[in-house]
Amino acid sequence: MRRLLLALAAGLVCAAGAHAQGPRIEPPGGILPAPSLGGSTDSSAPPSVPNESATPELIVDLSRARVSITSAFQGESILMFGMFDPPGEVVVVVVGPEARETVMRKQRVFGLWLNTGRQSFDDVPAYYAIAASQPLQRLLARGTGGEILSLEDRMSTVKPVGSRAAAELARFRGGLLEVKRREGLYPAAIGQVTVQAGRLFRVDLPFPSRLPEGVYEVKAYLLRDGKIVAAVSRPLPVGKVGFSAQLAGWASHDGALYGLGAIVMALFAGWLGGAIMRRL
């Protein structure tokens, strides 16, 4: 009971901090497991503990505000860095936009391998990465109220479309994880969050060249005794820019014009090529 009260107090301090420090900090009141709040308070209630510290407990920033897919894009590594009030552990989660993914499974038919089974899942994040300043399993084992999910736990929440036997679903789910890992979209070895001087932390977030577009969310959590005491969220837009953005936009919005453009380009290039070839 004593620990519970302590956690509650910490949460309220942080909530007060959040109100004082502007939009970067999410009030952790909503993040704390409901039972520990006991329903007696909510995060908008006036703090019962004096607001002593003017600095927030967790500050983060990204080395780049967005991932720009240009003509020279080969994947990118973005640095997330920040500072926290010790003691505590930092967990960083990056989630790409959610969509429906269809997994296809090959089977041998008359000696040839072809897709025979398919299963769609909803709420599949385009990208998912999680890193922590301590081995993740140890941190998450203490329970964070289901707010922070390991990749495996996150995968178990994707919703299958239609019905299928549980064992089969598990296989397709495993297949989804396998393909996403292979494409570098669920990087398994994102590495640890490294901490310096007890309060500075940094982590590299790797993004592969085949990266779905959309607004990604980068979240950092500060954990103490297995409880979230602060959380910061930053949007990270991922999109094509410049020439490749124009082409892709053109192709998707006006396929007919794009198709005609492609034909004219080929006609001209072919004619020019032919003319040059004859001169040689």
The reply on whether position 277 binds another protein by CB under 8 A is yes
Q: Which stretch binds another protein (CB under 8 A): 34-42, 196-204, 231-239, 268-276?
A: 268-276
The reply on whether position 111 binds another protein by CB under 8 A is yes
Q: Which stretch binds another protein (CB under 8 A): 31-39, 83-91, 140-148, 261-269?
A: 261-269
What is the spatial distance between Cα 89 and Cα 195, in angstroms, rounded to a whole number? 9
The reply on whether position 77 binds another protein by CB under 8 A is no
Q: Point out which residues pair with 43 in neighbouring strands.
A: none
Is the CB of residue 203 less than 8 Å from the CB of residue 213? no
Contact letters for another protein, residues 174-213 (x by CB under 8 A): -xx-xxx-x--------------------------xxxx-
What is the spatial distance between Cα 63 and Cα 237, in angstroms, rounded to a whole number? 13
Question: According to CB under 8 A, which one of 154, 219, 224, 240 is a site residue for another protein?
Answer: 240
Burial zone of 199 (CB within 10 Å; 0-12 exposed, 13-18 middle, 19+ buried): middle
What is the spatial distance between Cα 278 and Cα 138, in angstroms, rounded to a whole number? 71
The reply on whether position 99 binds another protein by CB under 8 A is yes
Cβ neighbours around 138 below 10 Å, total: 11
Phi and psi dihedrals of 86, rounded to 5? -70, 160
Binding to another protein (CB under 8 A): which residues in 156-175? 172, 175
What is the spatial distance between Cα 186 and Cα 211, in angstroms, rounded to a whole number? 11
DSSP class of 246: H
The reply on whether position 129 binds another protein by CB under 8 A is no
Residue 25's contacts (CB-CB under 8 Å, 6 or more residues apart) are 14, 17, 18, 56, 58, 230, 231, 232
Backbone dihedral region for residue 184 (phi beyond 0: left; psi -120 to 50: alpha; all else: beta) = left
Q: Which stretch binds another protein (CB under 8 A): 9-17, 22-30, 104-112, 136-144?
A: 104-112
> Between 1 and 112, whose beta carbon lies closer to another protein?
112
Binding to another protein (CB under 8 A): which residues in 32-71? 69-71
Question: According to CB under 8 A, which one of 3, 118, 138, 142 is a site residue for another protein?
Answer: 118
The reply on whether position 73 binds another protein by CB under 8 A is yes
The reply on whether position 262 binds another protein by CB under 8 A is yes
> Between 47 and 76, whose beta carbon lies closer to another protein?
76
Total residues contacting another protein (rule CB under 8 A)? 68
What is the spatial distance between Cα 102 and Cα 162, in angstroms, rounded to a whole number? 12
Which residues contact another protein by CB under 8 A? 69-75, 98-108, 111-115, 118, 122-123, 126, 172, 175-176, 178-180, 182, 209-212, 240, 243-245, 247-248, 251-252, 255-256, 258-263, 265-267, 269-278, 280
